[in-house]
Amino acid sequence: MGTTKIIAEPGIQQVDMEREFDAPRDLLFRAHTDPDLLVQWLGPRDEKMRLERLEARDGGTNRLIFKGSDGNDHGLHGVFHGTPSPEGIVQTFEYEGTPGHVSLDSITFAVRRSRRLTTIGERRGAGRPADMKGPSPAPSPA
């Protein structure tokens, strides 16, 4: 695996991350959209994730719950914008512990130097729900 590059400019509510993987682009896309694969890698290593909903389609919603080291559940939910594809994914995320603070994530899967070396470029920006297209779905009852 290659390096991870993170750029966070002062005064800008945006973080750019770039990571290289020795894996085909289609596999990395599936790792973001296949529920069985997503739960294997997303989130802190010491926390168990439960995927309540993952509708990887334009307008589809998702909800993830992490069991924190404090024993409490920590939920995130969001909406897919556009149809996710091996070229990229655009989606919102909102941490339910701080409602009203929405992150808009844009993930690009780009093949570099060879078929197997794929770079994931992710741009994460912060905003308010009114700034994002589409509603954030209400969390499901626990």
The domain that contains 62 carries what CATH number? Answer: 3.30.530.20
Residue 74 within any structural domain of the chain: yes
Residue 53 within any structural domain of the chain: yes
**Own/partner long-range contacts of 108-113 (Cβ < 8 Å, ≥24 apart):** 109/25, 109/28, 109/29, 110/25, 111/25, 112/20
Residue 40 within any structural domain of the chain: yes
In the predicted structure, residue 12 carries a pLDDT above the cut 60: yes
In the predicted structure, residue 121 carries a pLDDT above the cut 70: no
Instruction: Please say whether the beta carbons of 141 and 63 come within 8 A.
Output: no
Residue 15 within any structural domain of the chain: yes
Instruction: Please say whether the beta carbons of 94 and 86 come within 8 A.
Output: no
Residue 72 within any structural domain of the chain: yes
Please give the pLDDT value at position 5: 84
**Angle, alpha carbons 8-68-9 (nearest 5°):** 5
Range of the domain at 69: 10-131
Residue 110 within any structural domain of the chain: yes
Of 113 and 96, which is predicted with more confidence? 96
Q: How many domains does the chain have?
A: 1
In the predicted structure, residue 53 carries a pLDDT above the cut 90: yes
Residue 16 within any structural domain of the chain: yes
Of 100 and 112, which is predicted with more confidence? 100
Residue 136 within any structural domain of the chain: no
Q: What is the pTM of this model?
A: 0.78
At 87, is the secondary structure helix, strand, or coil?
Answer: coil
